[in-house]
Structure 1
Amino acid sequence: MTMDPHPLAPALAAAEEAGWTVLRLDLDGVRTKARLMDACAQAFALPDWFGRNWDALADCLGDLSWLPGAAGRLVAVTGWQELERARPGDWEVLREVLEEAGAYWRESEGPPLEVVVAAARP
């Protein structure tokens, strides 16, 4: 049995077809908090004022005004397993920040933000 190397591809394509902005947070090879913040800055096209810490990430994900208008935003997190092993606390905080951002946008008047995390490979 072979695993699909891109298991989220159908969901991402469907989201884009529906007018959503898809943000890909690929954490493959990320083993430090500094590299994690760099990956987030790149994936979310964060503004220059992003402070590369948890509070700044939460603030940015609660704004997103620099992203193009969309029906919604889908964050696809892949390659997270190495980070979870190397920095389990940072992985947990990232998950919390993403969950809180999703909850915020579901309750706001703006477009929703949903997060999908690719399953671990067997």
Structure 2
Amino acid sequence: MHAELVDATTGRGAEMGRRLLDDPDRARSEATDAVRRLWKAAVEPEWPSMRQALRAEMLDRAIQVNREGLRAVLPRLHHSAACEGDTITVESTVDIDLDCPEGLILVPSWTRPRREPRP
């Protein structure tokens, strides 16, 4: 968490850095409260339809992987992802090299469908 806070405060002024970094427990509590408020305002009202869409997407992707294999499906999950041999590569600004001896966990995400503007 400390590294994330350092990164989040870079370029935002010394006062913010001190406020967050001098009291990590308070920072964690404030972050928790902010995420809870965000969930209540933005996610909770949409959660039933989001959950239904995510479940349908996961089932569809599981069927695709079963039929075509992960190598074929991975680039369709995100344009930055590729699979070559036993290596999965994701283009990122952060350079991380990980072994996944217990397997790879893919986490679904959801974007609200765009609504057409009213005439």
The bucket for the TM-score relative to the shorter chain is under 0.3
Which structure has more helix as a fraction of its residues?
Answer: 2
Larger Rg: 2
Greater relative contact order (Cα 8 A, min sep 6): structure 1 or 2?
1
TM-score, length basis structure 1: 0.23
Which structure has more strand as a fraction of its residues?
Answer: 1
